Amino acid sequence: MNERDVLLNELVQGLRPMSHGIEWFDGLGLEEQSAVLLFLRHHCVQARAVAEDAPESIRRAGLRPTHTPAVLISRGRIDEQLGKIAGLAPLDERRKAFRLLIAVLSIADARRRERFCSGGCSHWWHRLSAVA
């Protein structure tokens, strides 16, 4: 667990406002931003994000259905589309991708927590609210 992982999981769980996350993300260099997007993509897949998560994720991220990340997540296999979203290059698209991937992970991880971790688990990120 490092500072970045804690911050991202706090955003996912709604323990920090997205405005704080965007400010933090904007302060990163391009390589660091890419690493964050790939980290989020990986964890969305690990949390078992599904295509049905797309509409709610788009809504939570505050994106219009015509924004590039929203279009991508709505088409094709979710794991492939998440990779395309994480690879978006223009800064404006990266910000949207960041918001969308946080929303996808929020939905998928909440479902995982409900199904598999409701009786307790060893995931450190599921204990953040007790620490925060």
Q: What is the mean pLDDT of residues 10-31?
A: 94
Give the residue carrying structure tokens 């929203």: 70
Examine the pLDDT at 73 and tell me if it is beyond 80. Answer: yes
Q: Please give the radius of gyration of the chain, using alpha carbons only, rounded to the nearest integer.
A: 14
Q: What is the mean pLDDT of the chain?
A: 88
The pLDDT value given to residue 129: 59
Judge whether residue 76 has pLDDT over 90. Answer: no
Confidence label for 130 from pLDDT (cuts 50, 70 and 90): very low
Q: At what angle do helices 54-61 and 91-116 cross, to 10 degrees?
A: 120
Q: Which two tokens stand for residue 3?
A: 């500072």
- Looking at residue 43, its pLDDT comes to 92
Name which of 15-29, 49-63, 99-113, 117-131 the model is least confident about. Answer: 117-131
64 torsion bin: left (phi>0), alpha (psi -120 to 50), beta (else): beta
> In terms of Cα–Cα distance, which of 83, 88, 96, 86 is closest to 22?
96
pLDDT of residue 125: 52
Residue 128 to residue 117: CA distance in whole angstroms = 14
Q: Is the pTM of this model over 0.85?
A: yes
Is residue 25 helix, strand or coil? helix
* % of the chain beyond a pLDDT of 70: 86
| pLDDT > 80? residue 119 | no
Structure tokens, 18: 């997205």
Query: What tokens does 73 get?
Result: 């997540």
